[in-house]
Amino acid sequence: MRRVVVLGLVVLAMAASLPVGAQDPIVESARKEGRFTWYTSMNIDDSQPLLDAFRKKYPFIKPELWRGSSEKVLNKIQTETRAGKFFFDVVAVNAFEAGFIKANKLAQPYLPPSAKAYRKGFVDPEGYWVDIYDNYFVLGYNTKLVAKAEAPKSWDDLLDPKWKGKFAMDPEDHPWYLALQDAWGREKAEKYGRALAGQTIQWRKGHTLIAQLLTAGEFPLGLVYAHRIEELKQKGAPVEWVTTTDPIPAELHPILIAAKAQNVNAAKLFVEFIASREGQAMIKAFGRIPAHPELELGWSVNPKQLKLQGVGVVGPDRASQVIKDWRDIFRPTGL
């Protein structure tokens, strides 16, 4: 009997010692590379744990992290690339910057196996990127100042004279406007934009600040991120967001592999990890909105019922055009 147990244990031990995915050539090549570098706009207390979890899975790969806001990531990549240096293997930034990276041939095509589960619009049809998390641009309101029945139901409701001077936005809400253009066409979006601009918008720099001031009651309405409001709600703050606006722009945050990646296989493993249910569950745990469609968010509203509009990865020309239109219509900085 003991012998059987021992034999069983030996067999088990042998089975366990077989390296995971020993058949997988990507893993084998990644083992040889032994490292990769990730440039990201995701803040450190989210991105570092992701790398730590990845390392638990592949202890033979040592990841390196560099974090800055999307535009800084882009400036760094461009400057390094022009100087003929290729330090980064993977990059995750906002949709506009991702579009620029793709258009300027700074990325190479790769879609991880997990991407098959993703909705249309959240994966690049040309195979260069997959989305990892989203910011939903929604209408937030302070429940002490606005009763639920009173709150606007649609974007058009914002044009009601009673909201004049009561609605706050960030001077760089270009993705929101891009979604309106995509949904309504450029002309209708402009007409709406000009009408809204006539409502004496309260400009405040930074979505964090807008959410804070909204909570404090400096203004009753603001354009905010849905997950931020959900987080504040959980802490007991007097805020809520409108689920019925059409569209609800969802700004993507794609991940791409560098065209000249030195550690392309390690990079592929990481992209798969972050796009998989496991990585996406972590992203959800950070309070972000994962791109993976099969994860429940635990909100009072199911995202499937929202009129989401993925704000895509557009080329630099379109991005510049949107920014130009936006500045022309809204003049957020008074310029």
Partner 1 sequence: MNRQLDARVLVLPGAVLLVAYLTVVPLGMLVYGSFRSGAVGEPGATYTLANYARAYLDPALYRLFLNSIVYAAGTCLVSFLIGAYLAWVTERTNTPLRGLITVVALVPFIIPGILNTISWLFLLSPRIGLINLLVRDTLGLTAGPFNVYTLGGMIWVEATHLYPLVFLLMAAAFRSMDMSLEEASIIAGSRTFTTLRRVTLPLMRPAMMSTMLIMFVRAIESFEVPALIGIPAGMPVFTSKIFLAIHQFPSDFGLAGSYAITLLLLSTTGVLIYRRITRHGERFATITGKGYRPRVIDLGRWRYLACGGAMLIFVVTVALPVFVLLWVSVTPYYGVPSRELLQRATLEAYRYVLNYPMALQAFTNSFYLAAGSATAVMLLTSVVAWITVKSKIPGRALLDNLAFIPIAFPGIVLGVSLIWVTLALMPVIYGTFWLLLIAYITRFMPYGIRTASASMIQINDELEEAALACGSSWRQAFQRIILPLLMPGFVAGWIYVSIVSLRELSSSILLYSPQSIVLSILAFDMWEGGQYNYVAALGAMMVLLLVLMAAVARRLGAKVGLVQ
105 three-class SS: coil
Which helix (H) or strand (E) is 114 found in, with range?
Answer: none
Q: Closer to partner 1 at the Cβ: 19 or 49?
A: 49
CB of residue 220 to partner 1, shortest distance in Å: 10
Q: Cβ(67)–Cβ(40) under 8 Å?
A: yes
* CA atoms of 160 and 287, how far apart (whole Å): 33
Q: Closer to partner 1 at the Cβ: 206 or 293?
A: 206
| 121 torsion bin: left (phi>0), alpha (psi -120 to 50), beta (else) | left
Q: Closer to partner 1 at the Cβ: 63 or 249?
A: 63
CB of residue 107 to partner 1, shortest distance in Å: 15
CB of residue 225 to partner 1, shortest distance in Å: 8
Q: What angle do CA 113, 313, 170 make, to 5 degrees?
A: 125
In sequence order, the β-bridge partners of residue 250 are 136, 310
**63: cis peptide before it, omega within 30°?**
no
Which stretches of the chain bind partner 1, using CB under 8 A? 43-46, 48-49, 64-69, 71-72, 74-76, 78-80, 82-85, 96, 100, 171-172, 202-209, 211-213, 215-219, 225, 228, 231-232, 235-237, 316, 319-320, 323, 327, 332-335
CB of residue 186 to partner 1, shortest distance in Å: 18
117-123: long-range pairs with CB below 8 Å, 24+: 117/292, 117/293, 117/294, 118/275, 118/291, 118/292, 118/293, 119/293, 119/310, 121/310, 121/312, 122/252, 122/291, 122/293, 122/310
Q: Cβ(131)–Cβ(254) under 8 Å?
A: yes
CB of residue 115 to partner 1, shortest distance in Å: 26
Structure tokens at 230: 């959900």
Q: Closer to partner 1 at the Cβ: 204 or 268?
A: 204
In terms of Cβ atoms closer than 10 Å to its own Cβ (0-12, 13-18, 19+), residue 36 is: buried
CB of residue 91 to partner 1, shortest distance in Å: 14
CB of residue 253 to partner 1, shortest distance in Å: 13
